[in-house]
Amino acid sequence: AVEAPVEVAPPVAAGGGGGDWTRRDKLLDIEAAAQKLWDDHRAYEADAPDGGGGVADKDKFFVTFPYPYMNGRLHLGHAFSITKSEFAARFARLQGKEVLFPFAFHCTGMPISAAAMKLEKILKNGKQEAPALAEAEEEGTAGDEPAAPGKRVKSKVAAKTGGMDQYDIMLAMGIGKEEIPDFVDPQHWLKYFPPFAVKDLKRMGSAIDWRRSFLTTDSNPYYDAFIRWQFLKLRNKYLENGKRQSIYSIATKQPCADHDRSEGEGVKPQEYTLIKLKVLELPEAWTSVLPSASASVFLVAATLRPETMYGQTNCFVLPEGEYGLYQMSNGEVFVCSKRSAVNMAYQGLGDLRTNADGEDEPVCLLETMGRDLVGLPLKAPLAAFERVYALPMLTISMNKGTGIVTSVPAESPDDYACLKDWKTRENWRTQFSVKEEWCQPYDVVDIMDIPDSEFEGPSAPYIVEKMKIGSHKEKDKLASAKKEVYLKGFYSGVLKVGPYAGQKVSDIKPQIRQDLISSGDAAVYFEPESKVMARSGDECIVALCDQWYLKYGDEEWTNRVRAHVENDFEMFNEPALNNLSHAIGWLGDWACSRTFGLGTKLPWDEQWLIESLSDSTIYMAYYTIAHLLEGGGLTGGPGPGAVKPEQMTEEVFDYIFCVSSEPLASMTLDKDLLDKMRQEFKFWYPVDLRCSGKDLIQNHLTMSLFNHAAVWEDPAYWPRAFFCNGHVMIDSEKMSKSKGNFLTLEESIETYSADATRIVCADSGDTLQDANFSREIAGKTILRLTTLLDWAEDAVSKLPTMRTGEYTFLDKIFQNELSALVFRAHEAYSRMLYSDALRAAWFDMDTLRSQYAILTHGNVHADVIRRLLEVQMVIFSPIAPHFCEHVWQNVLKKDGLVVRARWPTPEGEPSPVLLRQYESLQATLRSFRLELDRLKSPKKEKKGKVAEPPPVLDRAVVFVSKGYKPYQQEILRLLQQVPLDEQNAPLDKDYMRSVRDLESVKALPQNKSKEVMGFASFMMREVQERGPEVLELQLPFDEAQMLQDLSEVIKRQLKIEAFEVADAAQEHPSGGDSKRDAASPGTPQILFLAKEPVVA
């Protein structure tokens, strides 16, 4: 007999700690053997078939993954995303497709150079052997006071590494002290980390064609030539040189793009209007430091709402804030925070000078505290008052804006609450030396109407009073109030004052802003939307940069990309598609050149390097020819065609990549080799699927679409599908070295095996939501895999002794269920729902095998067991390829490789009747067991009486109904008309009203009406669990005959001696009238009997 595997506790070591690692080690041995077998058979190498100059008529699948950055070892986050490409490639190969899954390694950009620079500085200054590791929150920074931009502060990376510096990070990677000095050379990183990545991915069992692998940067002259060609194509139409406001790293003296950042990916420059509030009476200490006696001094405030300046009553400063008087290029002096002054200087508003440390900084004439600014008389542009004053505000953040805040209490809840505090709190005025005349005379100025709103008059006072906000320190309440009024004011507000009175705020805001700038009362100012940290360790600013830009905002370009995504593209889930659609319109101009880091130089302007996102958009095309150009090494070297890098001219690439139709006579490459490379491209392109983490939607993936559209006019060469997943957590927490929940890919394989790692990745999640890798489940997976292997070996050894010949009813049912699982797995793999695929290929398959053994009492059919094992090994192989290859080769003794087998498509669709019978049988047995347990449970003792022992039940009568009662049929017909969603839940949540409104139901007595409503509710619950077919008026099979045929199975399951199937419409000698009445098609009722009937 072949029994189901018995679940036992996993070995202690399976989830970490000490213990017996025998099972894990067995899996590692199996994996090593399988990998050698694949290498010997070159299982994953794929070449385009000879097309005779055209594309061969053969189905292909080209899947790629964004090459990982080589500044460290691959970790579980990489592995989780890579498995999406892995599973897709393996599934496509089982479909009989020619499959190409190549892989490369990214080294372009700042990260490696920045790390090398930091390491060199540490070694130069002398490394302290016992660094104090800061206790920092992973995503946070300490305190409200910012470091000056350009200064190194604790970043997200520092938090993740527990505050370690670059030297400590190298040690934590397992690099010896004697090796660390080598890493001050950026080129050493390129030689050191990629071989480890190759090793780890091979150990993971990745189905990669390694012949096509390469490194980026100009250290690989072939790839360098390819990127130069790409930018020559872009230059024709989509590249422009000029000055743009850019996120900028002072340390590296260049713009800082997304992949150059350790924090703040996706953050763009935010444009403000810098309002200039002129100081009317200068403090004596100020006059001596001014550049001239006539110099004007302004408190400057950054605002997004210049149209509200008509309502100014004062301005606010932070009493404990640090401010300075900064000299501007036009001779004016601005009072603001140092952080904002740095931004202004790099945007051309202010001057820069070199300090004693050799660093450029804004020219500060005098440093002062916010408390010294309180009471300054000011001239506020557009204000109704000739003179306003600076007042304290205790909630100003010096991390945003200038540290100076304009006050418009009519439309800003914060401003109103703060002004009210100074008017009403005499003790506050005394504490902060605020005079009454600075605040009391200044009432709210009504500047706009908001039609069709609840606001009567100024919105801020109304909402503050309504929400009972008692002080400007109530930040959470004020944030809610601001959200309530700001959007309504901007989109619906109508100005009541000034030359634009009567016009909508949203219409005249740009004009008012321009008027302020033209009159000299305001300036244009930028800063990052939120905090951005460069990988070099400095906080970024916004600078006006002379740059090369990709014009992603070009309307015609954007429209072509958008049309492709809307009509010919697959994203697999709607949120991902929405994010991509947004990014297409959001991207705008993109600074694509740098002066610091690694990479390819612009062909026509070699002072510039191409930044790391811009050289990573169409390199998938390079995969198609890399194995013919390069000699197998990652950094190039003549390949099979003995091509020299200088031979790869623009014209050569144009021909290979079908930009031109005929080779030119000036090409020095052999024509056959040229045609072979062209054929490789034509066969494999376009990319059928690209998988990545969700964070690349907003940049890399969107840019890839744009660049394909720029190089190839024909959308037939553009990517066909992207799949994006969330990030992976470990044990429900973000991956963090400092918290101890971090796994490199090598560590995960060593601890759990490659297949266990892959299985848990498959089970972790397939949406944009963050997934969870459970180490406990990984440990248990070791046990489940090895238990399955033990069972397979035992079952195959017993095949000669198993039953053969004709199939029984149970054999047919289980064969049919097996076919259904094959279809379910196919659908799940096709939709990239790998947790569902895993369930069908492993969990449900194991359950099916277990049920088959149980219901047949171990008397299984040899052909069913062999087919089950063979099918499972094929459909499970995309996820656990090593295990399945071992069973295929060494247990089943099959020819060929399981990874190159064909998907076991059944001859026909699974029989719906057999599916219903199996479902009915399982549900019926479950209900019978529950009823038996209820009757056998000890009765509660009644007061003064000894509880009777449960009866010994040895017989049973099952009442089967051939049809529903008339009222039930009417209800079923009604419920059949209820629309359902994808989960079979009713779209109309009030569907029960239709049941209550039936005339036949209204005519019933109240107790019977409740029964009817209960029936309707029960049937809809059954619909959600089992599907709409449960509403059919008749079953598609003879239920009574099925139960009669399976009477021996039922008796064994219930441990009874006698079993009878009876018609519920006929009275029975044993009674059971309530059971007969409750029976309905698909819901038989059982009456258990002892020597005397047990009354239900």
**What burial letters (b/e) apply to 73-88, b meaning 16+ CB within 10 Å?**
bbbbbbbbbbbbbbbb
Residue 1062's DSSP bridge partners are 959
Is there a contact between 906 and 819 (Cβ–Cβ < 8 Å)? yes
Specify whether the backbone of 805 is left (phi greater than 0), alpha (psi in -120 to 50) or beta: left
Tell me what pLDDT residue 1014 has.
Answer: 85
Task: State mean pLDDT over 927-932.
Answer: 94
DSSP 8-state secondary structure symbol assigned to residue 539: B
Alpha helices in 236-363 (DSSP H): 284-287, 338-346
Is there a contact between 312 and 415 (Cβ–Cβ < 8 Å)? no
pLDDT > 80? residue 15:
no
How confident is residue 1095, by pLDDT bands cut at 50, 70 and 90? low
How confident is residue 7, by pLDDT bands cut at 50, 70 and 90? very low
Strand pairing category for 955-960 and 1058-1063: parallel
Tell me what pLDDT residue 456 has.
Answer: 79
Q: Which residues contact 101 (CB under 8 A, 6 or more apart)?
A: 44, 63, 64, 85, 86, 89, 206, 207, 208, 209
pLDDT for 118-153, tens place per residue? 899 899 887 654 333 333 333 332 233 333 344 433
Instruction: Give SS3 for 112.
Output: helix
Task: State mean pLDDT over 698-713.
Answer: 96
pLDDT > 90? residue 398:
yes
Mean pLDDT lowest among 229-233, 590-594, 637-641, 1016-1020: 637-641
Q: Tokens 């919105």 belong to which residue?
A: 459
DSSP run (H or E) holding 829: helix 809-830
Task: State mean pLDDT over 28-53.
Answer: 91
Which structure tokens are listed for 1048? 């021996």
Tell me what pLDDT residue 435 has.
Answer: 96
Tell me what pLDDT residue 135 has.
Answer: 31
Task: State mean pLDDT over 926-937.
Answer: 91
Burial of residue 1045 (CB within 10 Å: 0-12, 13-18, 19+) is middle
pLDDT for 723-766, tens place per residue? 999 999 999 998 877 677 789 999 999 999 999 999 999 999 99
How confident is residue 39, by pLDDT bands cut at 50, 70 and 90? very high
Mean pLDDT lowest among 562-576, 610-624, 712-726, 902-916: 902-916
CA angle 88, 580, 692 (to 5 degrees): 35
Tell me what pLDDT residue 132 has.
Answer: 35
For residue 130, CA distances in Å to 138, 164, 165 come to 22, 11, 11
In terms of pLDDT, which residue wins out, 1020 or 33? 33
Distance between CA atoms of 438 and 418, rounded to whole angstroms? 13
pLDDT for 945-977, tens place per residue? 666 777 789 999 999 999 888 888 888 888 998
For residues 830, 836, 838 and 842, what is the CA-based torsion angle, rounded to 10 degrees?
A: -120
Distance between CA atoms of 934 and 498, rounded to whole angstroms? 82
| DSSP string over 965-998 | -HHHHHHHHHHTTS-B-TTS-BSSTTHHHHHHT-
Residue 723's DSSP bridge partners are 691
Task: State mean pLDDT over 479-496.
Answer: 87
In terms of pLDDT, which residue wins out, 1094 or 709? 709
Tell me what pLDDT residue 941 has.
Answer: 65
Alpha helices in 685-774 (DSSP H): 702-711, 745-752, 754-764
Task: State mean pLDDT over 98-107.
Answer: 96
> Residue 292 phi/psi, 5° resolution?
-155, 160
Distance between CA atoms of 111 and 597, rounded to whole angstroms? 8
Percent of the chain with pLDDT over 70: 92
How confident is residue 996, by pLDDT bands cut at 50, 70 and 90? confident
pLDDT > 50? residue 1:
no
Task: Give whichever of 10-19, 84-93, 643-652 has the largest mean pLDDT.
Answer: 84-93
pLDDT > 90? residue 343:
yes
Identity of the residue numbered 80: F
Task: State mean pLDDT over 416-434.
Answer: 95
Distance between CA atoms of 730 and 741, rounded to whole angstroms? 6
Distance from chain centroid for Cα 178: 39
Nearest CA to 412 out of 484, 471, 337, 499 is that of: 484
Nearest CA to 498 out of 484, 482, 516, 473 is that of: 516
Q: Which residues contact 427 (CB under 8 A, 6 or more apart)?
A: none
How confident is residue 159, by pLDDT bands cut at 50, 70 and 90? very low
Task: State mean pLDDT over 295-307.
Answer: 96
In terms of pLDDT, which residue wins out, 792 or 357? 792
Tell me what pLDDT residue 641 has.
Answer: 76
pLDDT > 70? residue 233:
yes
Mean pLDDT, all residues of the chain = 89
Task: State mean pLDDT over 1047-1073.
Answer: 93
- Kindly provide the residue ranges of all beta strands, DSSP E only, lying in 337-428, ordered along the sequence: 352-354, 360-362, 364-369, 377-379, 388-392, 404-407
Residue 369's DSSP bridge partners are 322
How confident is residue 190, by pLDDT bands cut at 50, 70 and 90? very high
Tell me what pLDDT residue 51 has.
Answer: 65
Nearest CA to 1086 out of 973, 929, 963 is that of: 929
pTM confidence score: 0.80
